[in-house]
Structure 1
Amino acid sequence: MRQDARKNRERILAAAEEVFGSRGATGSTEEVAQRAGVGIATVFRHFPTKEELIEAALLQHFDQLTERAYALAAKEDPATAWRDLVRAMIETGATKLTLASALADREGVPDTAGAASNRLKVAVSEILGRAQDAGTVRPSVTIEEVYLLIRGLAQASATMRPRSDVLERAIDVVLTGLSQSGRLPVDNG
Protein backbone atom coordinates (compact mmCIF):
# COMPACT_ATOMS: atom_id res chain seq x y z
CA MET A 1 0.00 0.00 0.00
CA ARG A 2 1.32 3.44 -0.93
CA GLN A 3 2.23 5.80 1.90
CA ASP A 4 -0.53 8.30 1.05
CA ALA A 5 -3.09 5.48 0.91
CA ARG A 6 -1.86 4.19 4.28
CA LYS A 7 -2.18 7.67 5.80
CA ASN A 8 -5.69 8.00 4.37
CA ARG A 9 -6.63 4.64 5.86
CA GLU A 10 -5.28 5.68 9.27
CA ARG A 11 -7.22 8.97 9.17
CA ILE A 12 -10.37 7.15 8.08
CA LEU A 13 -10.09 4.65 10.93
CA ALA A 14 -9.45 7.39 13.50
CA ALA A 15 -12.47 9.31 12.23
CA ALA A 16 -14.59 6.14 12.18
CA GLU A 17 -13.69 5.42 15.80
CA GLU A 18 -14.81 8.95 16.73
CA VAL A 19 -18.01 8.93 14.67
CA PHE A 20 -19.22 5.39 15.26
CA GLY A 21 -17.69 5.20 18.74
CA SER A 22 -19.87 8.07 19.88
CA ARG A 23 -22.98 7.61 17.72
CA GLY A 24 -23.01 3.93 16.90
CA ALA A 25 -24.60 2.78 13.67
CA THR A 26 -26.40 6.11 13.31
CA GLY A 27 -23.07 7.70 12.41
CA SER A 28 -22.52 8.14 8.69
CA THR A 29 -19.69 7.29 6.36
CA GLU A 30 -20.06 10.82 4.95
CA GLU A 31 -19.21 12.25 8.37
CA VAL A 32 -16.25 9.87 8.60
CA ALA A 33 -14.98 11.09 5.22
CA GLN A 34 -15.42 14.71 6.26
CA ARG A 35 -13.57 14.25 9.57
CA ALA A 36 -10.80 12.30 7.84
CA GLY A 37 -10.43 14.98 5.18
CA VAL A 38 -11.00 12.56 2.31
CA GLY A 39 -13.75 11.98 -0.23
CA ILE A 40 -16.47 9.40 0.33
CA ALA A 41 -15.06 7.38 -2.58
CA THR A 42 -11.76 7.08 -0.72
CA VAL A 43 -13.59 5.71 2.31
CA PHE A 44 -15.39 3.11 0.20
CA ARG A 45 -12.20 2.21 -1.66
CA HIS A 46 -10.68 1.16 1.67
CA PHE A 47 -13.90 -0.17 3.24
CA PRO A 48 -16.59 -1.24 0.76
CA THR A 49 -19.34 -1.30 3.40
CA LYS A 50 -20.18 0.64 6.53
CA GLU A 51 -20.04 -2.60 8.52
CA GLU A 52 -16.50 -3.32 7.32
CA LEU A 53 -15.48 0.18 8.38
CA ILE A 54 -17.00 -0.21 11.85
CA GLU A 55 -15.39 -3.64 12.25
CA ALA A 56 -12.00 -2.25 11.20
CA ALA A 57 -12.36 0.60 13.71
CA LEU A 58 -13.18 -1.93 16.45
CA LEU A 59 -10.19 -4.10 15.50
CA GLN A 60 -7.93 -1.06 15.54
CA HIS A 61 -9.27 -0.15 18.99
CA PHE A 62 -8.33 -3.59 20.34
CA ASP A 63 -4.96 -3.59 18.58
CA GLN A 64 -4.03 -0.15 19.90
CA LEU A 65 -4.93 -1.15 23.46
CA THR A 66 -2.93 -4.37 23.10
CA GLU A 67 0.09 -2.44 21.82
CA ARG A 68 -0.27 -0.01 24.70
CA ALA A 69 -0.53 -2.89 27.18
CA TYR A 70 2.73 -4.44 25.95
CA ALA A 71 4.45 -1.05 25.95
CA LEU A 72 3.32 -0.54 29.55
CA ALA A 73 4.43 -4.07 30.47
CA ALA A 74 7.93 -3.12 29.36
CA LYS A 75 8.01 -0.42 32.06
CA GLU A 76 9.93 -1.25 35.19
CA ASP A 77 7.10 -0.25 37.54
CA PRO A 78 4.24 -2.80 37.49
CA ALA A 79 2.03 -0.51 39.62
CA THR A 80 2.18 2.32 37.10
CA ALA A 81 1.67 -0.04 34.18
CA TRP A 82 -1.37 -1.56 35.90
CA ARG A 83 -2.97 1.79 36.77
CA ASP A 84 -2.34 3.25 33.32
CA LEU A 85 -3.78 0.24 31.50
CA VAL A 86 -6.92 -0.02 33.64
CA ARG A 87 -7.51 3.72 33.20
CA ALA A 88 -7.06 3.49 29.43
CA MET A 89 -9.43 0.53 29.15
CA ILE A 90 -12.13 2.24 31.19
CA GLU A 91 -11.72 5.61 29.50
CA THR A 92 -11.98 4.08 26.02
CA GLY A 93 -14.41 1.32 26.95
CA ALA A 94 -17.52 3.30 26.04
CA THR A 95 -16.17 3.71 22.50
CA LYS A 96 -15.45 -0.02 22.25
CA LEU A 97 -18.92 -0.95 23.46
CA THR A 98 -20.58 1.48 21.07
CA LEU A 99 -18.56 0.15 18.13
CA ALA A 100 -19.38 -3.45 19.08
CA SER A 101 -23.08 -2.66 19.47
CA ALA A 102 -23.08 -1.04 16.02
CA LEU A 103 -22.23 -4.49 14.69
CA ALA A 104 -25.02 -6.11 16.73
CA ASP A 105 -27.25 -6.60 13.69
CA ARG A 106 -24.85 -9.32 12.62
CA GLU A 107 -24.79 -12.76 14.21
CA GLY A 108 -22.66 -11.75 17.18
CA VAL A 109 -19.21 -10.26 17.32
CA PRO A 110 -17.09 -10.97 14.23
CA ASP A 111 -14.44 -13.68 14.70
CA THR A 112 -11.72 -11.13 13.98
CA ALA A 113 -12.95 -8.91 16.83
CA GLY A 114 -13.15 -11.90 19.17
CA ALA A 115 -9.56 -12.84 18.36
CA ALA A 116 -8.37 -9.23 18.85
CA SER A 117 -10.22 -9.08 22.16
CA ASN A 118 -8.54 -12.30 23.28
CA ARG A 119 -5.09 -10.92 22.41
CA LEU A 120 -5.83 -7.90 24.58
CA LYS A 121 -7.01 -10.09 27.43
CA VAL A 122 -3.74 -12.04 27.34
CA ALA A 123 -1.78 -8.79 27.58
CA VAL A 124 -3.96 -7.52 30.44
CA SER A 125 -3.51 -10.85 32.25
CA GLU A 126 0.27 -10.50 31.98
CA ILE A 127 0.20 -7.01 33.47
CA LEU A 128 -2.20 -8.16 36.19
CA GLY A 129 0.22 -11.00 37.05
CA ARG A 130 3.17 -8.61 37.22
CA ALA A 131 1.21 -6.26 39.48
CA GLN A 132 0.22 -9.16 41.72
CA ASP A 133 3.82 -10.44 41.88
CA ALA A 134 4.92 -6.93 42.89
CA GLY A 135 2.32 -6.82 45.67
CA THR A 136 0.36 -4.02 44.02
CA VAL A 137 -2.83 -6.00 43.32
CA ARG A 138 -4.45 -8.53 45.62
CA PRO A 139 -3.35 -12.06 44.66
CA SER A 140 -6.94 -13.31 44.72
CA VAL A 141 -8.08 -10.92 41.94
CA THR A 142 -8.89 -12.69 38.66
CA ILE A 143 -8.89 -11.34 35.13
CA GLU A 144 -12.63 -12.05 34.94
CA GLU A 145 -13.26 -9.78 37.95
CA VAL A 146 -11.09 -7.06 36.44
CA TYR A 147 -12.93 -7.27 33.12
CA LEU A 148 -16.30 -7.13 34.87
CA LEU A 149 -15.31 -3.94 36.71
CA ILE A 150 -13.87 -2.35 33.56
CA ARG A 151 -16.96 -3.23 31.56
CA GLY A 152 -19.24 -1.93 34.29
CA LEU A 153 -17.65 1.51 34.29
CA ALA A 154 -17.35 1.52 30.51
CA GLN A 155 -21.03 0.62 30.14
CA ALA A 156 -22.03 3.34 32.59
CA SER A 157 -19.86 5.82 30.68
CA ALA A 158 -21.44 4.79 27.38
CA THR A 159 -24.97 5.32 28.63
CA MET A 160 -24.66 8.36 30.90
CA ARG A 161 -21.43 10.15 29.89
CA PRO A 162 -20.21 11.18 33.38
CA ARG A 163 -18.11 14.26 33.99
CA SER A 164 -14.41 13.49 33.68
CA ASP A 165 -13.75 14.18 37.38
CA VAL A 166 -16.49 11.75 38.40
CA LEU A 167 -15.07 9.07 36.12
CA GLU A 168 -11.57 9.67 37.50
CA ARG A 169 -12.80 9.17 41.06
CA ALA A 170 -14.71 6.03 40.07
CA ILE A 171 -11.56 4.62 38.45
CA ASP A 172 -9.65 5.41 41.64
CA VAL A 173 -12.27 3.49 43.64
CA VAL A 174 -11.83 0.44 41.39
CA LEU A 175 -8.04 0.60 41.56
CA THR A 176 -8.13 1.03 45.34
CA GLY A 177 -10.44 -1.95 45.71
CA LEU A 178 -8.12 -4.13 43.66
CA SER A 179 -4.97 -3.00 45.42
CA GLN A 180 -3.18 -5.15 47.97
CA SER A 181 -3.16 -2.38 50.58
CA GLY A 182 -6.61 -0.96 49.91
CA ARG A 183 -4.86 2.35 49.12
CA LEU A 184 -3.77 3.78 45.83
CA PRO A 185 -0.01 3.86 45.37
CA VAL A 186 1.41 7.35 45.23
CA ASP A 187 2.31 8.38 41.70
CA ASN A 188 5.64 10.19 41.87
CA GLY A 189 5.79 10.70 38.10
Structure 2
Amino acid sequence: MTNPMADRPLRSDAVRSRKLLLEAAASAFAEQGTNVSIAQIAERAGIAKGTVFRHYATKEDLVAAIVCENIDTLVDTGERLKLAADAGEALRDFMTAILEVQASDRAFCEVSTGIAHDQPAVRAGTERLQAIADALTERARRQGAIRPEITGQDVMLLVSGVYQTAAPLRSSHPQLWRRYLSLAFDGMQAGNAAELPPFDAGR
Protein backbone atom coordinates (compact mmCIF):
# COMPACT_ATOMS: atom_id res chain seq x y z
CA MET A 1 0.00 0.00 0.00
CA THR A 2 2.54 2.59 1.13
CA ASN A 3 5.91 3.42 -0.33
CA PRO A 4 8.46 0.85 0.94
CA MET A 5 10.68 3.80 1.84
CA ALA A 6 8.09 4.78 4.43
CA ASP A 7 8.88 1.62 6.45
CA ARG A 8 12.62 2.28 6.72
CA PRO A 9 14.25 4.14 9.64
CA LEU A 10 14.14 7.88 8.97
CA ARG A 11 16.66 10.62 9.66
CA SER A 12 15.51 13.40 11.97
CA ASP A 13 14.83 15.76 9.05
CA ALA A 14 12.81 13.05 7.30
CA VAL A 15 10.84 12.39 10.49
CA ARG A 16 10.07 16.10 10.73
CA SER A 17 8.99 16.35 7.08
CA ARG A 18 6.71 13.32 7.43
CA LYS A 19 5.14 14.81 10.56
CA LEU A 20 4.50 18.08 8.72
CA LEU A 21 3.13 16.14 5.75
CA LEU A 22 0.71 14.06 7.82
CA GLU A 23 -0.54 17.09 9.75
CA ALA A 24 -1.06 19.07 6.54
CA ALA A 25 -2.69 16.15 4.76
CA ALA A 26 -5.03 15.42 7.66
CA SER A 27 -6.30 18.99 7.81
CA ALA A 28 -6.52 19.37 4.01
CA PHE A 29 -8.41 16.11 3.51
CA ALA A 30 -10.72 16.91 6.43
CA GLU A 31 -11.59 20.32 4.99
CA GLN A 32 -11.66 19.57 1.25
CA GLY A 33 -12.06 15.82 0.87
CA THR A 34 -9.99 13.43 -1.20
CA ASN A 35 -9.92 15.71 -4.25
CA VAL A 36 -7.35 18.01 -2.67
CA SER A 37 -4.12 17.90 -4.68
CA ILE A 38 -0.69 16.76 -3.56
CA ALA A 39 0.64 20.18 -4.56
CA GLN A 40 -1.78 21.87 -2.16
CA ILE A 41 -0.81 19.51 0.65
CA ALA A 42 2.91 20.04 0.00
CA GLU A 43 2.44 23.81 0.02
CA ARG A 44 0.51 23.65 3.27
CA ALA A 45 3.21 21.48 4.83
CA GLY A 46 6.01 23.72 3.54
CA ILE A 47 7.74 20.84 1.79
CA ALA A 48 8.51 19.97 -1.81
CA LYS A 49 5.98 17.94 -3.79
CA GLY A 50 8.63 15.31 -4.42
CA THR A 51 9.05 14.86 -0.67
CA VAL A 52 5.44 13.72 -0.44
CA PHE A 53 6.08 10.94 -2.92
CA ARG A 54 9.24 9.88 -1.11
CA HIS A 55 7.02 9.05 1.85
CA TYR A 56 3.91 7.83 0.00
CA ALA A 57 4.02 6.46 -3.52
CA THR A 58 0.52 7.70 -4.44
CA LYS A 59 -2.08 10.11 -3.13
CA GLU A 60 -4.31 7.09 -2.44
CA ASP A 61 -1.65 5.73 -0.08
CA LEU A 62 -1.57 9.05 1.75
CA VAL A 63 -5.37 9.16 2.00
CA ALA A 64 -5.37 5.61 3.35
CA ALA A 65 -2.75 6.46 5.98
CA ILE A 66 -4.80 9.40 7.27
CA VAL A 67 -8.12 7.56 7.18
CA CYS A 68 -6.65 4.51 8.91
CA GLU A 69 -5.52 6.71 11.80
CA ASN A 70 -9.14 7.75 12.31
CA ILE A 71 -10.32 4.15 12.01
CA ASP A 72 -7.73 3.03 14.59
CA THR A 73 -8.99 5.70 16.99
CA LEU A 74 -12.60 4.57 16.52
CA VAL A 75 -11.65 0.93 17.00
CA ASP A 76 -9.87 1.86 20.26
CA THR A 77 -12.98 3.77 21.33
CA GLY A 78 -15.15 0.76 20.56
CA GLU A 79 -12.87 -1.57 22.51
CA ARG A 80 -13.21 0.67 25.58
CA LEU A 81 -16.97 0.86 25.16
CA LYS A 82 -17.21 -2.95 25.16
CA LEU A 83 -16.36 -2.72 28.86
CA ALA A 84 -19.14 -0.23 29.70
CA ALA A 85 -21.86 -1.42 32.04
CA ASP A 86 -24.72 0.03 29.96
CA ALA A 87 -24.49 -1.69 26.58
CA GLY A 88 -27.20 0.47 25.04
CA GLU A 89 -25.43 3.70 25.92
CA ALA A 90 -22.14 2.20 24.78
CA LEU A 91 -23.60 1.45 21.34
CA ARG A 92 -25.03 4.94 21.07
CA ASP A 93 -21.68 6.45 22.12
CA PHE A 94 -19.95 4.38 19.43
CA MET A 95 -22.36 5.61 16.76
CA THR A 96 -21.84 9.17 18.01
CA ALA A 97 -18.05 8.82 17.79
CA ILE A 98 -18.25 7.68 14.16
CA LEU A 99 -20.61 10.51 13.24
CA GLU A 100 -18.39 13.09 14.92
CA VAL A 101 -15.51 12.00 12.69
CA GLN A 102 -17.70 11.95 9.58
CA ALA A 103 -19.03 15.43 10.34
CA SER A 104 -15.56 16.90 10.80
CA ASP A 105 -13.59 14.99 8.18
CA ARG A 106 -14.75 14.96 4.57
CA ALA A 107 -12.16 12.43 3.47
CA PHE A 108 -13.17 9.94 6.14
CA CYS A 109 -16.79 10.31 5.10
CA GLU A 110 -15.95 9.79 1.42
CA VAL A 111 -13.85 6.72 2.15
CA SER A 112 -16.43 5.24 4.52
CA THR A 113 -19.06 5.48 1.79
CA GLY A 114 -16.91 3.65 -0.75
CA ILE A 115 -14.22 5.93 -2.17
CA ALA A 116 -10.69 4.42 -2.00
CA HIS A 117 -11.99 1.11 -0.66
CA ASP A 118 -9.56 -0.62 -2.99
CA GLN A 119 -6.86 0.20 -0.43
CA PRO A 120 -6.12 -2.99 1.55
CA ALA A 121 -5.41 -1.07 4.75
CA VAL A 122 -8.71 0.79 4.50
CA ARG A 123 -10.60 -2.45 3.85
CA ALA A 124 -8.90 -4.12 6.81
CA GLY A 125 -9.66 -1.15 9.04
CA THR A 126 -13.28 -1.08 7.94
CA GLU A 127 -13.60 -4.78 8.74
CA ARG A 128 -12.20 -4.19 12.24
CA LEU A 129 -14.67 -1.34 12.73
CA GLN A 130 -17.52 -3.60 11.61
CA ALA A 131 -16.39 -6.29 14.04
CA ILE A 132 -16.54 -3.76 16.89
CA ALA A 133 -20.03 -2.70 15.77
CA ASP A 134 -21.10 -6.35 15.75
CA ALA A 135 -19.79 -6.90 19.28
CA LEU A 136 -21.36 -3.74 20.72
CA THR A 137 -24.67 -4.51 19.01
CA GLU A 138 -24.69 -8.06 20.37
CA ARG A 139 -24.08 -6.76 23.92
CA ALA A 140 -26.94 -4.27 23.54
CA ARG A 141 -29.24 -7.04 22.26
CA ARG A 142 -28.33 -9.31 25.18
CA GLN A 143 -29.16 -6.55 27.65
CA GLY A 144 -32.47 -5.90 25.91
CA ALA A 145 -31.45 -2.33 25.12
CA ILE A 146 -32.25 -2.64 21.41
CA ARG A 147 -34.59 -4.68 19.26
CA PRO A 148 -33.51 -8.32 19.02
CA GLU A 149 -33.31 -8.27 15.22
CA ILE A 150 -30.87 -5.33 14.99
CA THR A 151 -27.45 -6.32 13.61
CA GLY A 152 -24.07 -4.65 13.53
CA GLN A 153 -24.50 -4.15 9.81
CA ASP A 154 -27.77 -2.33 10.49
CA VAL A 155 -25.90 -0.06 12.88
CA MET A 156 -23.16 0.87 10.41
CA LEU A 157 -25.68 1.50 7.63
CA LEU A 158 -27.80 3.64 9.94
CA VAL A 159 -24.75 5.71 10.90
CA SER A 160 -24.07 6.36 7.23
CA GLY A 161 -27.74 7.16 6.64
CA VAL A 162 -27.85 9.62 9.54
CA TYR A 163 -24.86 11.48 8.14
CA GLN A 164 -26.25 11.57 4.61
CA THR A 165 -29.63 12.82 5.89
CA ALA A 166 -28.05 15.80 7.62
CA ALA A 167 -25.35 16.45 4.99
CA PRO A 168 -27.36 18.87 2.77
CA LEU A 169 -27.51 21.35 5.68
CA ARG A 170 -24.00 20.66 6.95
CA SER A 171 -22.73 24.21 6.38
CA SER A 172 -25.56 25.98 8.18
CA HIS A 173 -26.42 23.27 10.74
CA PRO A 174 -23.21 21.27 11.42
CA GLN A 175 -24.70 19.47 14.43
CA LEU A 176 -27.99 18.48 12.77
CA TRP A 177 -26.87 14.85 12.59
CA ARG A 178 -27.39 14.61 16.35
CA ARG A 179 -31.14 15.11 15.82
CA TYR A 180 -31.33 12.25 13.33
CA LEU A 181 -29.11 10.00 15.41
CA SER A 182 -31.62 10.40 18.26
CA LEU A 183 -34.46 9.49 15.92
CA ALA A 184 -32.56 6.48 14.57
CA PHE A 185 -31.54 5.21 17.99
CA ASP A 186 -35.08 5.60 19.34
CA GLY A 187 -36.22 3.35 16.50
CA MET A 188 -33.59 0.77 17.42
CA GLN A 189 -34.71 0.42 21.02
CA ALA A 190 -36.71 -2.53 22.26
CA GLY A 191 -40.41 -1.89 22.76
CA ASN A 192 -43.83 -2.74 21.39
CA ALA A 193 -43.02 -1.85 17.77
CA ALA A 194 -43.81 -4.33 15.00
CA GLU A 195 -41.03 -6.74 14.09
CA LEU A 196 -38.69 -5.49 11.40
CA PRO A 197 -38.70 -7.15 7.97
CA PRO A 198 -35.67 -9.42 7.53
CA PHE A 199 -32.48 -7.82 6.24
CA ASP A 200 -32.79 -9.54 2.84
CA ALA A 201 -36.52 -8.95 2.41
CA GLY A 202 -35.94 -6.71 -0.60
CA ARG A 203 -34.25 -9.41 -2.66
TM interval, short-chain normalised: 0.7 to 0.9
- The aligned residue for residue 91 of structure 2 is 82
- The aligned residue for residue 199 of structure 2 is none
- The aligned residue for residue 37 of structure 2 is 28
Which of 97, 102, 118 lines up with 2:109 in the alignment?
A: 97
Q: Deviations over 1:44-88 (max 9, x none)?
A: 332232221112122222222111111221233323321110111
Give 5+ residue unaligned stretches, structure 2: 1-8, 193-203
- The aligned residue for residue 150 of structure 1 is 159
- The aligned residue for residue 58 of structure 1 is 67
Counterpart amino acid of residue 97 in structure 1: C
Which of 177, 180, 202 lines up with 1:170 in the alignment?
A: 180
The 3-state SS of whatever aligns with 1:25 is coil
Give 5+ residue unaligned stretches, structure 1: 183-189
- The aligned residue for residue 186 of structure 1 is none
Distance change (3 Å), C-alpha of 1:43 and 1:124: same
The 3-state SS of whatever aligns with 1:155 is helix
Counterpart amino acid of residue 39 in structure 1: I
Which structure is higher in RCO with an 8 Å CA cutoff and minimum separation 6? 1
TM-score of the aligned structures, taking structure 2 as reference length? 0.71
Distance change (3 Å), C-alpha of 1:143 and 1:16: same
Q: Is the 8 A contact 1:24 1:101 kept in 2?
A: no
Q: Deviations over 1:5-39 (max 9, x none)?
A: 6676466445423322442333133443455x552
- The aligned residue for residue 140 of structure 1 is 149
- Bigger CA radius of gyration: 2
- The aligned residue for residue 47 of structure 2 is 39
CA-CA distance at 1:180 after TM superposition: 2.0
CA distance in 2, matches of 1:90, 1:125: 17
TM-score of the aligned structures, taking structure 1 as reference length? 0.75
Within 5 Å, which residues of 2 pair with 1:113-128? 113-128=122-137
Counterpart amino acid of residue 183 in structure 2: V
* Greater helix proportion: 1
The 3-state SS of whatever aligns with 1:138 is coil
Q: Is the 8 A contact 2:166 2:176 kept in 1?
A: no
CA-CA distance at 1:100 after TM superposition: 5.6
Q: Is the 8 A contact 2:138 2:151 kept in 1?
A: no
Distance change (3 Å), C-alpha of 1:81 and 1:28: same
Q: How many residues align?
A: 178
Higher deviation after alignment, 173-182 or 67-76: 173-182
Which of 111, 116, 120 lines up with 1:111 in the alignment?
A: 120
Q: Deviations over 1:122-176 (max 9, x none)?
A: 0111111111222221211112221221111223445542613422111111111
Higher deviation after alignment, 46-55 or 14-23: 14-23
Q: Is the 8 A contact 1:24 1:99 kept in 2?
A: no
Higher deviation after alignment, 51-60 or 16-25: 16-25
CA distance in 2, matches of 1:101, 1:135: 30
